[in-house]
Amino acid sequence: MKTKLIGLGILAVVIIAAVVYVCIGRSRTVTEINGYVGGEKIGLLEDEEVQDILRDRYKLAIDYAKAGSIDMITADATGRDFLFPSNQTALELYEQINGKPVKSEIILNTPIVLYTRSAVAQALVSEGIASEAEDVYYVDMEKLTEAIESGKTWSDIGLPQLYGSITVGTTDPTKSNSGNMFAGLLANTLCGGVANESNLPEILPRLQSIFQKLGYMESSSADLFDQFLKTGMGAKPLIAGYENQLLEFAVENPETWEQVKGDIVLLYPTPTVWSSHVYIALDEAGTAGIDALLDQDIQRLAWEKHGFRTGVYDTPTDAAHFGVPGLAEEITQVAPMPDADTMDKIIEAL
């Protein structure tokens, strides 16, 4: 027993020595920063190649907690070094509450798109709500909004297997970015231009009734997309999301993608809006994240593996490698989002 104890004692000393070595070694070389990140960028931050570049070139490790883009602005940011929401409105809101941040920069871009199943896409095409040109599907926002507002049911457009009326599943616009941007897009559609404070009073009640129909909404774009894929056509016939979500999924799950790609359809709203993922540094440590994430190789990985259109890659020539049918080469039909004050009023009303 005694020798056993001594043996264990020695083992303990060795372990302690090892722990000390590793801890001291690491803390000298790599700084860990921590912040709130929208769910759709987690794949990029968890990418080992990205983590290696951050560590080797920038001596940086990025830890995060998942939060919606709007939620994170109002959440308690004590102990956080940065916020990484998915639109510029979030930055404007941040500035209204807290003043100018230490530093901020757009890191990635991706357009808002709709996802659906082929049966639904076909029904939308025959209704004249969607159309196909050069293998890319576009959805006429005005006609879609009309169908939603008039209370048309899925069975009205030839889909009796779906229960209820036509809606677009989105995340909660008061909490998460994709839902928020889709609300902006709908507001633009309803006023036939870009929504602003003068035309807002007229369209707000209509916008409210569209969103009220949705009932409970997810708070994260990633969760909504995951559910779209897993719960099947019945549960989420049509959702709003980011273009990069499907591209990333196709790269990360090539086998699954091969099995499901015949059924999943990407629809580009005309016009759409850009989701610009802006990095907001809250302290000096946080600013290091900006330079690191703008690294050319990280930007390349962001496109190739995660589907974000970046500064360098916004007119990609190598879209074919995703194997995603109907991926638009260029996003040309883009409208600006309503300004922050208008969006603020929209959020408040919803």
Please, which residue, 136 or 214, has the CB nearer to another protein? 214
For residues 294 and 106, the answer to whether their CB atoms sit within 8 Å is no
- Binding another protein (rule: CB under 8 A), the pick from 35, 36, 266, 346 is 36
Residue 136 sits in the site that holds another protein (CB under 8 A): no
Quote the CA–CA distance of 153 and 143 in Å, as a whole number.
14
Residue 2 sits in the site that holds another protein (CB under 8 A): no
SS3 string of 138-187?
Answer: EEEHHHHHHHHHCCCECHHHCCCCCCCECCCECCCCCCCHHHHHHHHHHH
Q: Which residue has the tokens 């803390």?
A: 27
Residue 75 sits in the site that holds another protein (CB under 8 A): yes
What is the maximal distance between C-alpha atoms in the chain?
85
Quote the CA–CA distance of 334 and 350 in Å, as a whole number.
24
Residue 21 sits in the site that holds another protein (CB under 8 A): no
For residues 44 and 302, the answer to whether their CB atoms sit within 8 Å is yes
3-state secondary structure of 306: coil
User: How many positions of this chain bind another protein (CB under 8 A)?
Assistant: 53
**Residues 269-308: x where in contact with another protein by CB under 8 A, - otherwise, as a string:** ----------------x-----------------------
**Closest CA relative to residue 162, chosen from 124, 215, 107:** 124
For residues 207 and 26, the answer to whether their CB atoms sit within 8 Å is no
- Binding another protein (rule: CB under 8 A), the pick from 235, 320, 321, 336 is 235
Q: Which of residues 152-191 bind another protein (CB under 8 A)?
A: 161-165
- Binding another protein (rule: CB under 8 A), the pick from 51, 55, 66, 349 is 66
Residue 232 sits in the site that holds another protein (CB under 8 A): yes
**Closest CA relative to residue 329, chosen from 131, 108, 135:** 135
CB of residue 59 vs another protein: minimum separation in angstroms? Answer: 13
- Binding another protein (rule: CB under 8 A), the pick from 230, 317, 318, 348 is 230
Quote the CA–CA distance of 319 and 247 in Å, as a whole number.
9
Residue 67 sits in the site that holds another protein (CB under 8 A): yes
CB of residue 315 vs another protein: minimum separation in angstroms? Answer: 31
Residue 19 sits in the site that holds another protein (CB under 8 A): yes
Residue 47 sits in the site that holds another protein (CB under 8 A): no
Residues of the shown chain interacting with another protein in the complex, contacts defined by CB under 8 A: 4-5, 8-9, 12, 15-16, 19-20, 23, 26-27, 31-34, 36, 63, 65-67, 71, 75, 81, 151, 161-165, 212-220, 223, 226-227, 229-235, 256, 259-260, 285
